[in-house]
Amino acid sequence: MAPMAKGFGFDPRKAVRHLRAADPALGEIIARVGPFALELKHSRSLFRALAEAIVYQQLSNKAAATIYGRVEALYPRTRDGFMPRHILTTPDEQLRGCGLSRAKVLAVQDLARRVHAGELPTLEEAHALEDAALVERLVQVRGIGRWSAEMFLMFRLGRPDVLPLDDYSLRKAYAKAFNKRSLPSPRALERHGEKWRPYRTVASWYLWRVLEQPAATVMPRRA
C-alpha cells in the first residue's frame, strides 16, 4: 500500500529520509525502530472524534471504550452514530449513568452546542485549516486543551509537523532516547525539534516507540 493511501498528506518515506539526514542521533533510533507505522484513526465527523477524545481523557482504553459504548447505546436508532442534537436533548442523569463524570458531561454538551451552532469547522473544513488556526478553534471547547487538539491533528488528520510539547510521555521518551538525566523543558524540546521540521509528527512517533524498548537498545551514540 502506498504511503499516501493511508490518509497522510505527506510521504512518510520522504519524512524518514529527511529526519535521518537532519538529526543523525534520531536516525539511529529510526534504524532500530524500523518503518514508520502510525495508523490514523477513522473519524466520521469532527464532533464524534472530539466527543471520543473527551470520554477517553485520563482513562484506560478499556474503561473509556466501555463508557463510550454506553453513550452510543443510548441512541440505537441512529444510522451514523449520535449527533449534537442527541446529546443536547439527553438529560444529564442519563449521560452520567453511562459513566461520564460531571466535568465530561459538561464538556460533551459544550462541544455539542458549539457544533450545532456552527462555531466549529466540519471535518472537511478542518482538513483545509492550518495547524495553528485549527488548534485555536478547538481549544475553545470545554475540556479540549492544546494537547487534545494536537492529538486530533496527529492521529485523526495525519498532520506531518505537530510536536506536542506538553506531552509527558514524549518528554520522557526524549530523555531516554538522548540519555538525559532529567526531562527536557517544553522549550528545550522545542529547540531540539526545530531540526525535525517539517516532520515533527514523525519524529514524535519514533520517540514514543523508544519507551517500548530496553534502554540499552535505544541510546544513540551522540546527542
- How would residue 215 be classed by pLDDT, with cut points 50, 70 and 90? low
Model pLDDT, residue 194: 97
CA–CA separation, 168 vs 186, rounded Å? 10
Q: Which CATH superfamily is domain 46-155 in?
A: Hypothetical protein; domain 2 (1.10.340.30)
Examine the residue annotation and report whether 167 is marked as an active-site residue of this protein: yes
pLDDT band at 5; cut points 50, 70, 90 = very low
Q: What is the pLDDT of residue 217?
A: 54
The grid cell for 3 is: 504511503
- Beta carbons of 9 and 158 less than 8 angstroms apart: yes
Q: What percent of the chain has pLDDT over 70?
A: 93
**What's the gap between Cα 39 and its chain centre?**
11
pLDDT tens digits, residue range 10-68?
999 999 999 999 999 999 999 999 999 999 998 889 999 999 999 999 999 999 999 99
Average pLDDT, the chain: 92
Per-residue pLDDT band for 3 (boundaries 50, 70, 90) equals very low
Q: What is the pLDDT of residue 123?
A: 94
Q: Would you state the pLDDT for residue 30?
A: 97
Q: Is 213 exposed, middle or buried (0-12, 13-18, 19+ CB in 10 A)?
A: middle
Could you tell me if residue 135 is left (phi over 0), alpha (psi between -120 and 50 degrees) or otherwise beta? alpha
Confidence of residue 2 (pLDDT cuts 50, 70, 90): very low
| Domain(s) of CATH 1.10.1670.40: residues in the chain | 3-39+162-217
The CATH 1.10.340.30 portion of the chain extends over 46-155
133 has pLDDT over 80: yes
Asked whether the predicted pLDDT for residue 218 surpasses 80, the reply is no
Average the pLDDT over 82-110 and give the result: 98
CA–CA distance from 119 to each of 44, 115, 122, 139 (Å)?
A: 18, 6, 10, 12
- Which among 183, 173, 180 is positioned nearest to 211, based on CA atoms? 173
| Separation between Cα atoms, residue 210 and residue 33, nearest integer Å | 8
Q: Is the pLDDT of residue 107 over 70?
A: yes
Whether 221 has a pLDDT exceeding 80, the answer reads no
For residues 82-91, give the mean pLDDT: 97
Please give the radius of gyration of the chain, using alpha carbons only, rounded to the nearest integer: 19
**Helix residue spans in 36-98 (DSSP H):** 46-56, 61-73, 84-88, 92-97
pLDDT attached to residue 6: 65
The fold for domain 3-39+162-217 equals Endonuclease Iii, domain 2 (1.10.1670)
Q: Which secondary structure element, helix H or strand E, spans residue 120, and what is its range?
A: none
Give me the catalytic one of 23, 110, 166, 167: 167
Residue 208 cell numbers, joined: 514514543
The residues, ordered by sequence, that sit 6+ positions from 11 with a Cβ below 8 Å of its Cβ are 3, 4
pLDDT, tens only, 114-132: 999 999 999 999 999 999 9
pTM listed for this prediction: 0.89
Dist. CA 3–CA 35, nearest whole Å: 11
